[in-house]
Amino acid sequence: MNFYDVLAKAKAGTNLSVSELQILLDAPDVNAEKELLAAGYAVKKEYCGNVVNLRGLIEFSNICSRDCFYCGIRKSMRTVSRYRMSMEEITAAARLAGEYGYGSVVLQSGERSDREFVDFVTGVLREIKKLPCQLGITLSCGEQTMDTYLRWREAGATRYLLRIESSNPEIFARIHPPECSFSERLEALVRLKAADYQVGTGVMTGLPGQSTADLAEDVKFFQEIDADMIGMGPYLPQEHTPLGQANPDAPGAAMKRLELTLRMIAVTRLLLRDVNIAATTALQAIDPAGGRERGIMAGANVIMPNVGDTGRRRDYQLYNGKPDLDENAPEVRLKLLESLAKIGEIPRFNEPGDPLHYQVRTRKNEKI
Ligand code: SF4
């Protein structure tokens, strides 16, 4: 089957096989790629409208007990100055997100599962829920026990992001130390579903040794676990990590990964239709002038401006070139609104912006 036959099937909403997904990802030329991205955007408009959900991102701690080979805040990284925002600082950042009308916050940190951390996050969630702005809360704090997921759910979190990074166990094993298990990651995703979260996952695109066949399997994986939210970013090497040191970047490689990520966004939108897909900061790192907007135009519908303290941002450098722009500055917020308006998109204010997919699947389960 050729590219355009598969694209026609995808536009019609037909379920695609892994090999068909790969044909789309391997768009044969620039025109085919353009048509793929336009098709992704058309489905985004059909299911999500010309609306973008905004989430205030709060990177509240860079202390991590893990040692992922690609990550700039891995525990072995001695040069990173470690921090954890106080309860008051996090609540103030959440209040600010509410004042900006973002409707939701994402609380992200390195992974810890000790008692003190679990209690701290529980307290933070309770404090944010007391704010008058009624924010939706997404957590991104790694693998946890069922008890912890349930506690945090009860305390007010409704969404959880836990990226698989690659659904190919061999690639997963190459980019993580042995103590980080692929099967445990899968089990954590199952626990999140059982704890009634809106579940988000995602992968890095353009990892060393990763093919478009692997990425097609990743998109199928999102479908199979029935994910509600997807966050994908181009792999960006961090020069002081084991993966970054072993695979120095060739000139132009980052731009190729950005283009691959846009194709992944479009293909994921074409297959999954009603999920939330984030236009991640990593897109902006490669194309500061319009990376996130290009993500929206390929089918993404969520942007996460950072509402944390800019001073802390240089200590949360997961990869090289992560933007440390003050996204709280009025001119930067205005610029984002202007750039969205330029592509015909409207930001959704003062609403949590839950993924349609979660609403549909929970309604279905109620009927069973
Ligand atoms: S990717 Fe996450 S869990 Fe892994 S080292 Fe970085 S912050 Fe820690």
Q: Which of 59, 60, 62, 66 to mutate to test the pocket of ligand 1 (most atoms within 8 A of CB)?
A: 66
Judged against a pLDDT cut of 60, whether residue 368 lies above it is answered with: no
pLDDT band at 186 (very low <50, low <70, confident <90, very high): very high
Residue bearing the CA closest to ligand 1, atom 5: 74
**Distance, CA of 73 to CA of 65 (rounded, Å):** 10
Residue 165 alpha carbon, nearest atom of ligand 1: 1
- In this prediction, residue 189 carries a pLDDT of 98
Judged against a pLDDT cut of 70, whether residue 323 lies above it is answered with: no
Domains and CATH numbers, the chain: 40-367 (3.20.20.70)
Beta bridge partners of 302: 53, 278
231 lines ligand 1 (CB under 6 A): no
**Please, what is the average pLDDT of the chain?**
93
233 lines ligand 1 (CB under 6 A): no
pLDDT band at 330 (very low <50, low <70, confident <90, very high): confident
Give per-residue pLDDT as tens, 37-91. Answer: 999 999 999 999 999 999 999 999 999 999 999 999 999 999 899 999 999 999 9
Judged against a pLDDT cut of 90, whether residue 331 lies above it is answered with: no
Give per-residue pLDDT as tens, 216-250. Answer: 999 999 999 999 999 999 999 998 999 999 998 88
Give per-residue pLDDT as tens, 100-155. Answer: 999 999 999 999 999 999 999 999 999 999 999 999 999 999 999 999 999 999 99
Check: CB of residue 159 under 8 Å from CB of residue 137: yes
pLDDT band at 172 (very low <50, low <70, confident <90, very high): very high
95 lines ligand 1 (CB under 6 A): no
**Cβ-based neighbours of 288, under 8 Å, separated by 6 or more:** 323
161 lines ligand 1 (CB under 6 A): no
Task: Give the CA-trace dihedral at 64, 292, 362, 148, to 10 degrees.
Answer: 10
3-state secondary structure of 298: helix
CA of 344 to the centre of ligand 1 (A): 36
**Distance, CA of 235 to CA of 319 (rounded, Å):** 8
**Distance, CA of 339 to CA of 346 (rounded, Å):** 10
58 lines ligand 1 (CB under 6 A): no
Q: Is 332 left (phi over 0), alpha (psi -120 to 50) or beta?
A: alpha
3-state secondary structure of 232: strand
Residue 67 alpha carbon, nearest atom of ligand 1: 5
Letter for the amino acid at 355?
Answer: P
CA of 157 to the centre of ligand 1 (A): 20
Residue 72 alpha carbon, nearest atom of ligand 1: 6
- In this prediction, residue 15 carries a pLDDT of 97
3-state secondary structure of 137: strand
Please name which of 129, 188, 116 lies closest in space to residue 158, comparing C-alpha atoms: 129
CA of 8 to the centre of ligand 1 (A): 39
**Distance, CA of 151 to CA of 64 (rounded, Å):** 21
Residue 64 alpha carbon, nearest atom of ligand 1: 8
> What is each CA distance from 222 to 18, 163, 186, 267, in whole angstroms?
12, 10, 12, 11
CA of 193 to the centre of ligand 1 (A): 22
204 lines ligand 1 (CB under 6 A): no
Exposure string of 299-334, with b = 16+ CB inside 10 Å and e = fewer, is bbbbbbbbbbbeebbebbbbbbebeebebbeeeebe
Pairing of strands 51-54, 204-205: unpaired
